Amino acid sequence: MYSSDPKVLAGSNTTEGRSTPAASAAPGLRRSLDRAAQIATYREVPRIRRVVSSSTYTPRAEFLAFSPPLIGEEEIDEVVDTLRSDWLTTGPKTRRFEQDFARYVGANDALALNSCTAGLHTALAALGIGPGDEVITTPMTFAATVNVIEHVGARPVLVDVESDTLNIDPAAIEQAISPRTRAIVAVHYSGHPADLDAIEELARENDLFVIEDAAHALPARYKDRIIGAGRNPTAFSFYATKNLTTGEGGMLTGSDEFLERARPFSLHGMTRDALSRYAKGGSWRYEILSPGFKYNMTDIQAAMGLCQLRKLECFDARRREIVEMYHDAFAGEDALELPVERHDVRHAWHLYVLRLRTDALRIGRDEFIDEMTARNIGTSVHFIPVHLHPYYRDRYGYDEQDFPVAVGNFERMLSLPLNPRLTSSDVGDVIEAVLDIVRSYRR
């Protein structure tokens, strides 16, 4: 069976005798297209390849997107209500979303922002971390976690991860602490909480801050507390693929003293936001306390967030049902390593990261993803370790094998679809595709 995906055929100059746009383009445009194809990566220019499958396998007819949002009429109505109101930017709905979110995670208060990246950057700035300081974090994260350390002028110090959870390894943190270390950024990878007891103990012993990157971790629990309930500055993401979405957006929690310092940073360093200046009884007077940022959330985003927060428990329950289906289907397969959930945590299951045991297969991770795509199943990889990206590799002289656990797992991982929009039939299609590829390429 050959792929009929039009994207796969996009590199051809003709289709059934008809000239394609690439073939009929002006010579200059053709040269540009040819040059673009030469310098693109293989993932950007899909290859025509034979699909090997068992005789009993039938691929799904339509492509299954990796992680679409689940938006209902309630979100639409709430956004329309905002558009018809007097407030589009940071206003009463943003404040209500902050309060509802804080109540949900058990925090005293929360600060709504336009991204998790903004939350991490604001946290570092509010804690006074800057040039000459070092911040320890993980290479197994999206680059934003490390970029913000650069933004404040500090040096990111990467350490390796645990082999089971892929979270930052406390033993590696301990070895990396120096007189210049000011903070540890603990990423709750894929929704599994990092080992906070061990990390916080190191922080206490060395007078360090702990910042939690909880982009994946809503609603995760570490032992007896939900992530975001403690005193550590904790940044959440509401990006389109996240467990709760506002399209773009984020939230920052932490101690009362911390949030009091952080709030002005999120809006130009001003002592008053628009609501406190323009609402009835407000004052036009304000002061600039610092050269802050433009990171505020709008009421349009908050309108979506208010509805999504009310649905979060249902979303979470469906994610866990899907995970159980995956676990049950893959548990006996020796070519697959399943993600874990330690006994003392509650995983948020933002991602289901499957790891291939490549010694049992005749293909690697990249070819496995190609085979999933050919079977109309969308997947992704989380993440390319930070030290492999040219900027960080060249700036700090990293070698590929400096973090062998992170790299070794990256080379054999793929993320399967996991979102509450998936039907049981969709999940079945994913399972059948994975198992068919394993059967077809087993050593």
Helices and strands (H and E) in the chain: how many: 15, 15
298-331 pLDDT, tens digit per residue, is 999 999 999 999 999 999 999 999 999 999 999 9
Tell me: the pLDDT tens digits for 423-440? 999 999 999 999 999 999
Question: Are the beta carbons of 253 and 263 closer than 8 angstroms?
Answer: no
Higher pLDDT, 246 or 273: 246
pLDDT class of 277 with cuts at 50, 70, 90 = low
**pLDDT of the residue at 201:** 98
Q: What is the DSSP string of 273-327?
A: -HHHHHSTT--S---B-S---B-BPPHHHHHHHHHHHHHHHHHHHHHHHHHHHHH
d(CA 112, CA 236): 10
Position 11 pLDDT exceeds 50: no
SS3 content of the chain, % helix, strand, coil (to 5): 40, 15, 45
Residue 132: per-residue pLDDT: 98
pTM for this model (two decimals): 0.87
* The pLDDT of residue 417 is above 70: yes
d(Cα 100, Cα 66) in Å, to the nearest integer? 29
Domains (ranges, CATH) in the chain?
Answer: 1-39 (no CATH), 40-66+312-441 (3.90.1150.10), 73-309 (3.40.640.10)
Q: What is the mean pLDDT of residues 237-249?
A: 98
For the segment 359-406, what is each residue's pLDDT rounded down to a tens digit?
A: 999 999 999 999 999 999 999 999 999 999 999 999 999 999 999 999
Catalytic residue among 223, 242, 280, 311: 242
Residues 54-71 have pLDDT tens digits of: 668 899 999 999 999 999
pLDDT in tens, 104-163: 999 999 999 999 999 999 999 999 999 999 999 999 999 999 999 999 999 999 999 999
- Mean pLDDT across the chain: 89
Is the pLDDT confidence value at 97 over 90? yes
Query: Which pLDDT band, with edges at 50, 70 and 90, does 23 fall under?
Result: very low
Closest among 223, 194, 224, 226 to 211, alpha carbons compared: 194
| pLDDT score for 367 | 98
For residues 12 and 90, the model is more confident at 90
> What pLDDT is stored for residue 35 in this prediction?
36
Is 280 among the catalytic positions?
no
Examine the pLDDT at 31 and tell me if it is beyond 80.
Answer: no
Separation CA 184–CA 247 (nearest Å) = 28
| Amino acid 56: pLDDT | 81
Note the pLDDT of residue 281.
80
| Range name among 250-264, 273-287, 374-388 with the lowest pLDDT average | 273-287
